[in-house]
Amino acid sequence: MQIAQDLAICLPARAVVLLIGELGAGKTAFVRGLVQGVGGDPDQVTSPTFVLIQEYDAPRTVYHADLFRLAAVAVEDLRPQLDELMDRDGILAIEWADRLMRPVIGAVRVHIIDGGGDERAIDIDGKPVTGSEGPPA
C-alpha cells in the first residue's frame, strides 16, 4: 500500500493506472493505497467485480474499474465509459488491464506478482520497486 500511496502523490491531475496480476495478487489493495495517497479512506475500497466501476470520494477522485468477469467484447463495450473517465481529473485504476484490446496512451502500468504470504514484487512501467524505495522518477 505504501508504494501505491507514494505513486498517487506523483501522478498528474489526470492519470490512468493499469493493474496487472493474478487473482489475489493485491490489485485491490494497491487501489486502497492510491485512495489513501490522495487523502481518501482506504476502507471504502472494495473489489468492483460485480459493479464494474466504482468512484471513491476523496480530495482527488479515484475511479476503480475491474475487467475480471468481462469477455473481450464486453471490455470493448465498456471502453467508451473508461475513455470518458480518462478525460476527467482524478485517477482511473483499472484491474485486469491486460484484457484491454487497445493501449491506453500515457498510462502507468503496474504489474503485481504474488510471492506467497505477504510477499509481493511490484513492477511499475518496467521499473522494479521495493518497499524501501520511493516511486519511480
pTM of the model: 0.87
Task: Report the side by side order of strands in the sheet with 127-129.
Answer: 53-56, 62-66, 90-95, 14-20, 108-114, 120-124, 127-129
Q: What is the pLDDT along the chain (137 residues), one digit of tens a residue?
A: 899 999 999 999 999 999 999 998 999 999 999 999 999 999 999 876 677 899 998 999 999 999 988 888 888 888 889 999 999 999 999 999 999 988 888 899 999 999 888 889 999 986 545 444 444 43
- Domain positions in the chain are 2-129
Residue 128's pLDDT is 47
CA dihedral 58, 136, 134, 65 (to 10 degrees): 30
CATH classification number, 2-129, choose in 3.40.50.300, 3.40.640.10, 3.30.365.10, 3.30.160.20 = 3.40.50.300
Residue 130's pLDDT is 47
Residue 103's pLDDT is 85
